[in-house]
Amino acid sequence: MSIVEVLLIAVSLAMDALAVAICKGLAMKKITVKNACIVGLWFGGFQALMPAVGYLLGRNFQKYIENVDHWVAFVLLALIGANMIKEALSKKEEEADDSLSFKKMLPLSIATSIDALAVGITFGVMPGVNVPVSVACIGVVTFLLSALGLKVGNVFGLRFKAKAEIAGGVILILLGLKILLEHLGVLSF
């Protein structure tokens, strides 16, 4: 997997965390560097942890699914992407809450990183994935986008939230399709 593909996955996975960070920013009167770092560490930390856990799960099941691993990767990425698009198009709004407490941030961090767990499973069944680099990239990108999202939410509001989630979903679907088509011999990059 190329670094461009890893970056695209990282950005796509960060979209949920970015959306929640934007909502947090909406609720805050003033954004500090400390607040941005807290939000970035929560979301970035969980976005890095979950694919690592998913990878370990995927490696354990690889021998059972190696003949269909490309289909597993495609289906997981397509489902994650489709769900992101569905959520972006739904009328349901996230609650604006400015609390950065453990009690508030833990469930948000887990909820926004479940997709990363599934992507980590695909890492476990795909050949040629540099897992430490991928996990670090996902964590750093999510940290940066979440911290930035806090400020963006505070300044601009929800104007770009849905578009960002749709773009992330489309990217994941296209990456899943690319993996499938390469394995089937239709594409050769």
Structural domain boundaries enclosing 38: 3-183
Residue 126 lies in a domain: yes
pLDDT in tens, 9-63: 999 889 888 888 887 887 788 899 999 999 999 999 999 999 999 999 888 876 7
pLDDT at 85: 85
The count of domains in the chain is: 1
Q: By the 8 A CB rule, do 188 and 64 touch?
A: no
Residue 45 lies in a domain: yes
Residue 1: band (very low, low, confident or very high) from pLDDT cuts 50, 70, 90 = confident
Rounded to 5 degrees, φ, ψ at 121 are -60, -40
Helix axes 3-27, 131-155, angle to 10 degrees: 30
Residue 66 lies in a domain: yes
pLDDT in tens, 121-176: 888 877 788 999 999 999 999 999 999 999 988 887 666 667 777 877 788 788 77
Q: Cα-Cα-Cα-Cα dihedral of 6, 19, 169, 3, to 10°? A: -10
Q: Where is pLDDT greater, at 110 or 63?
A: 110
Residue 189 lies in a domain: no
Residue 188 lies in a domain: no
- Owner of token pair 């508030």: 104
User: Coil, strand, or helix at residue 126?
Assistant: coil
